[in-house]
A and B are shown apart, each in its own frame.
Chain A
Amino acid sequence: MTAEPMSAEPMSAEPMSAEPMSVATDVLVVGSGAAGMYAAIEAARGGAHVLLADRSLIGRGGATIMAQMTVAAALGEETPDDWQHHYADTIAAGRGLCDEQLARLLCQQGPECIRELDQWGVGWARKNGHITATMAPGHDRPRCVYVDFINTGPAVSKTLRTVMARNQTIRKAGDLCIVDLVAGDGEITGAVAYHLGTGAPVTIAAKATILATGGLTRLYRRNSASTNMGGDGYALALRAGASLIDMEFVQFFPIGHLAPRLIGMDPIMWDPFRYKLGGQLLNGRMEEFTSRYGSDEDGKYVLTRDLATYAIFKEVEAGRGSPHGGAYLSFEHCTPASLREAFGPVIDRLAANGIDLTRMPVEVAPIAHYHMGGVKADASMSTEVPGLYVAGEVVGGANGANRLSGNAITEALVFGRRAGRGAAERAKRMALPRLRAQDARAAIDLVCATGDARKSFNTAAAVAQLQSVMTDDVGPFRTATGLQRAFAEIRMLASGLGERPPGHGASFDLERLEWFDLRNMLAVARAVVESALNRAESRGAHQREDFPKMLPQWQVHQSVRWRDGELRVSGAPAAAAAAALAS
């Protein structure tokens, strides 16, 4: 396999030179969460030279590192299990909209990936020599493996980073922000990036490109993932001519921490303790309320995410919320000893934040957590555009209208591995990368564009404003009026953004980065809003107050494409088998 070797030692920078620095690789992987890292490892195993680019540090940003626990896979080590049971649960949770091929791949190959990570020393929790699995809402049996109750994601991330470090054919490039994919003769031939540390443009010629940039939780004010998850992969794919599907389905995690202020802990931290101790979800009057919405918890944690989110929102709307506009989560019925056993050192971290669970409840509220929608791909992770592959949360459709808990890391691993394999196979068939300078010109011009920061447009404030718009009008509960208001606001923000980034290519210019982020975030926000406005029914994570029923005629995947400067939304019926299984 041929690819120009790239220099390994850091050198001094000359930003904004006339000709951008260019590098070549067999496979370009964008994003270094679990999906990107597994893709890189698998592509290298397939004989490819890999460039793994991340806009922040390698293996530190994204969602994987924030995942605290539960990776769903039908290992069947403790309790008999089969991938088909996992598949049935995934399809049922997806409310008739799972892409069957993708859901099947996820469930079928999950155990293999879990076992490979085990061999790599991730340290899955074991009991009596078996990898142990816990019960999670929506699963028919204990199926969710973990490392420990708050460190599963960091352990997965660290393991993959360590495996990559042993591999000489994977080059890692932190602080490298991909601005646009480059297309020539109908296929993706690479990408244009800029180096955040110096502001310098970079052209990357690649035989195959894998997008593994994660979801779009940054579009919302309160979210459970890293700040670099603003839907970059969706926007890159959209501009490159690929379709996005199911963009209206944003999953909210029902019990994100709300109050009192808690630092040094992930806001979804309460989930593991609900698995262990149950805990009581109470409204502002300290009454149990989930039974009013069709699910009696009875001290156990069985409520699916969409139902719990719905129940909390409805209590708040009825004036029965907690002081900060959520619900109470109480462990006051637990003994100090059982709390200490379940929470371990976390009890001390809570104490440092003034929280004593034996005496007080905390406040929780739904928080943007995951995106079911994404780039349309087949079971080989190829998109409609030759040369472009996707992995992890960038992939749309596997989880339908609502993701089952535990499936996110599994899909990162399975889809990452599959994309890496496919990309390496494509690279093997090609002699040289085919990127032509003229195809990269427009993106390079954009990266090299300079301009004064407009006093009237604060990029950080614009991001915050977009987050407010999305939270207020494009949350889990939607109306035509609210969605139209959001649509108008997004248009206004887009016109304020202008055609060119501010700044002069200085080192670590966050305003410039935010300009490129907003360019992506606004495009993705529009895709979500337009899809949500079209879908005149309620299903899974998409609840329309003005169309409260789930309707059989909406058993449809909506796709969004970018054509002639406009978004085009169209629909196609979902496969019949998924529909039957979910009914």
Chain B
Amino acid sequence: MLKIWRGSERDAGRWEHYEVPFEPGQSVLDGLRWLRINKDPSLAMRFSCINANACKECMMQVDGETVYACTARLEPREMTLTPLPNKKLVRDLVTEVAPPSERFAIK
């Protein structure tokens, strides 16, 4: 069971609960990818290398602890997923993690 924070403003978010299948050895990212394909493609999250822990894009908090979703293990219990608290929120689990010099200055 994943309890996921959704929204695009910190003080106007909501919690959503999703049942995802559990297989020993899987990562939290495996669960999130399953969820998007099978339940809700509207969930926003960042990931690129999927499994290798090379891109470092999938940072988020699981049960209040900052982790990479690709290396955090999925567990057969309720896990609470939230965006990084110290970065600017973009939407759902996505925050602005790029250094300012590597962002596009949108206006």
Contacts and interface: CB of A to CB of B under 8 A. Distances in A.
Interface of A: 6-14, 21, 53, 56-58, 60-61, 65-66, 153-154, 165, 172-176, 195, 197-198, 200, 202, 226-228, 260-267, 353-354, 453, 458-461, 463-464, 506-511, 514
Contacts of B52: 66, 264-267
Contacts, number: 157
A219 to B, nearest CB: 14
B24 A510 contact: no
Contact of B41 (A66, A507, A510): A510
B42 to A, nearest CB: 6
A33 to B, nearest CB: 11
Contacts of B38: 461
Interface string B28-66: 001001001110011111111111111111000000000
Contact of B55 (A65, A198, A511): A65
Given A11-B106, A21-B106, A508 B91 contact: yes
Given A8-B105, A11-B107, A261 B25 contact: yes
Going nearest first, the 3 A-B pairs with the smallest beta carbon separation are A261-B25, A173-B104, A266-B52
A463 B105 CA distance: 30
B94 interface: yes
B8 A507 contact: yes
B97 interface: yes
A21 B23 contact: no
Contacts of A267: 51-52
A406 B46 CA distance: 30
Given A461-B38, A507-B91, 10 more contacts: A9-B100, A57-B98, A172-B102, A227-B49, A228-B48, A263-B30, A264-B51, A458-B37, A461-B41, A514-B41
B50 A57 contact: no
Nearest to B50: A227
A354 B51 contact: no
Contacts of A507: 8, 44, 90-91, 94
- In this complex, the member of B23, B24, B105, B107 whose beta carbon has the largest number of chain A beta carbons within 10 angstroms is B107
B77 interface: no
Contacts of A65: 49, 54-55
22 contacts: A6-B105, A10-B103, A10-B105, A11-B105, A11-B107, A13-B106, A60-B55, A65-B54, A172-B101, A174-B104, A176-B104, A197-B103, A197-B104, A227-B48, A263-B70, A264-B71, A267-B51, A460-B37, A464-B37, A506-B8, A507-B44, A508-B44
A158 B37 CA distance: 33
Interface in B60-107: 68, 70-71, 73, 90-92, 94, 96-98, 100-107
A244 B90 CA distance: 37
A262 B73 CA distance: 11
A197 B102 contact: no
Contact of A353 (B25, B54, B97): B25
Contacts of A176: 104
Contacts of B57: 56-57, 60-61
Given A507-B8, A514-B41, A263 B106 contact: no
Contacts of B90: 197, 507-508
A578 B54 CA distance: 37
Given A61-B48, A153-B54, A226-B55, A7 B107 contact: yes
A58 B27 CA distance: 25
A464 B70 CA distance: 19
Contacts of B107: 7, 11-14, 21
B100 A10 contact: yes
B41 A175 contact: no
- In this complex, the member of B41, B43, B57 whose beta carbon has the largest number of chain A beta carbons within 10 angstroms is B41
Contacts of B47: 227
Contacts of A200: 106
A508 B102 CA distance: 17
A57 B55 contact: yes
A52 B51 CA distance: 26
A137 to B, nearest CB: 22
Contacts of A12: 107
A262 B41 CA distance: 25
Contact of A198 (B30, B36, B54, B106): B106
